[in-house]
Structure 1
Amino acid sequence: MTLQLGDTVPDFTQDSSEGEISFHSWAGDSWVVLFSHPADYTPVCTTELGEVSRRKADFEARNVKVIALSVDDAESHKGWICDINETQNTTVNYPILADVDKKVSTLYGMIHPNANASLTVRSVFVIDPQKKLRLTITYPPATGRNFDEIIRVIDALQLTDNYQVATPVNWTDGDDCVVVPTIPTEEAKQKFPKGVTEVKPYLRMTPQPNK
């Protein structure tokens, strides 16, 4: 099965570094970032898991839970976590799924045979509280993930869910937004009292509504 944007993500029950997790129940009413790793004790991933633990408060401020995945078992994860805490000067404070049987990897399409038939690729899934898939990013083995970008996209998704705006190129929190094409300009001027600038009839900008 190939997961596509807007799909309801599969539920599963799997062991983790923090015990058994039933995914939909664990996610609850939160957004979720699920990110996968080829194996434990891999160098790039060690830096990534450390960064996510340091940024956990940033995710929590956005009602986001984070959960990692590796195909090694929970005991292996616990040893790796010790290394991550030591080398990255942090404390891993979220679960790592132990996907030994590759059940979750298969459900979420993390096995790419042309890359490696036995290991997961390094994917990121952003899932909303309705369990809908909102973003996927897949990285090659040698390129570390950019969690500033992942947080930026979550900000954009949450903004566009609550207001009838889109985010332009290189948008970051606080920048001007695009008025969606379905709103006529006169209606937009009422809806966005901070102002609407019409660059072209199809390109209208407005200050970020929730700032």
Structure 2
Amino acid sequence: MTHDASKDSGEHIAPGAGLRIGDIAPDFSARSTTGDMRLSDCRGRWLVLFSHPADFTPVCTTEFVALAKAADQFAQRECDLMALSVDSLFSHFAWLRMIRDRFDVEVRFPIIEDPTLVIGRAYGMVAPGDNDSATVRTTFFIDPHGVIRAMTCYPANVGRSTSEMLRTLDALQAVDKDPVLAPANWEPGEKLLRQPSAKLDDVFAAKDHTDWFLQEVGRGKRA
């Protein structure tokens, strides 16, 4: 497994450095349950990259069952799923076999092995001095250009919400279509917000004291 955080972007991203929204996602190559993977090969589509503490753990198992069942919904949004943990490739295989046999669900999206923590540290999923990722449950929403557009982080004892992951993806795709904003709790089909004016004349000409910065516009549809 090799890690390359800067080859595509031309910028140096130090392992363990805190990534921020707007950064280029560090590139890497690694083995996965679907074969050898390179992150930059996913360009051209959205990608949700997420870490899980360990195979054969209760919360992670429920997450993978839920995400496998929702995989088609991500695919409809032209988005791929990719998971990562410190466990070995063969541990991943055994866990996915157990999930299939117990829940009648096949996990077909790739699960990356990261036994040396190289990828986890590059993404800030693991603290520089940690020897395992047992407390990490991080998600990166990466756009088709390889840019990190959103991040979430949950403790090991709280599972992710698949519906919120889909809602976040819908909102990111909606604001990419037009210069609009997605309000709190926005769902596809609901109204978006207009970007506020930066001109004083527009502020004075507004019908009331909120119209110049808080105005609904159109209805965002799912990508």
Asked if the contact 1:198–1:204 (Cα under 8 Å) also holds between the matched residues in 2, the reply is no
Q: Does 1:6 align with 2:17?
A: no
Q: Could you tell me which residue of structure 1 aligns to residue 14 of structure 2?
A: none
Q: Distance in 1 between matches of 2:99 and 2:106?
A: 8
Q: Could you tell me which residue of structure 2 aligns to residue 140 of structure 1?
A: 155
Asked if the contact 1:163–1:209 (Cα under 8 Å) also holds between the matched residues in 2, the reply is no
Task: Decide which moves more: 68-77 or 80-89.
Answer: 80-89
Q: Distance in 2 between matches of 1:198 and 1:160?
A: 25
Asked if the contact 1:31–1:127 (Cα under 8 Å) also holds between the matched residues in 2, the reply is yes
1:199 positional shift? 5.2
Q: Which runs of 4+ in 1 moved over 6 A?
A: none
Q: Distance in 1 between matches of 2:95 and 2:178?
A: 42
Please give the TM-score of this superposition, normalised by the length of structure 1. Answer: 0.87
SS at match of 2:112: strand
Q: Distance in 2 between matches of 1:210 and 1:145?
A: 24
Deviations 1:87-142 (A, max 9, x none): 3331111110011111110111111379x642250000000011000111000111
Q: Does 1:208 align with 2:219?
A: yes
Amino acid at match of 2:21: L
Q: Does 1:119 align with 2:137?
A: no
Q: Does 1:110 align with 2:121?
A: no
6, 9, 28: which one aligns with 2:43 = 28
User: For this pair of structures, how many residues does the alignment match?
Assistant: 199
Please give the TM-score of this superposition, normalised by the length of structure 2. Answer: 0.83
Cα RMSD between the aligned structures? 2.2
**Which stretches in structure 1 are left out of the alignment for 5+ residues?**
188-196
Q: Distance in 2 between matches of 1:6 and 1:204?
A: 26
Q: Distance in 2 between matches of 1:111 and 1:22?
A: 20
**Which stretches in structure 2 are left out of the alignment for 5+ residues?**
1-16, 203-207
Q: Distance in 2 between matches of 1:113 and 1:20?
A: 26
Q: Distance in 1 between matches of 2:40 and 2:64?
A: 22
- Report the identity percentage: 34
Asked if the contact 1:199–1:205 (Cα under 8 Å) also holds between the matched residues in 2, the reply is no
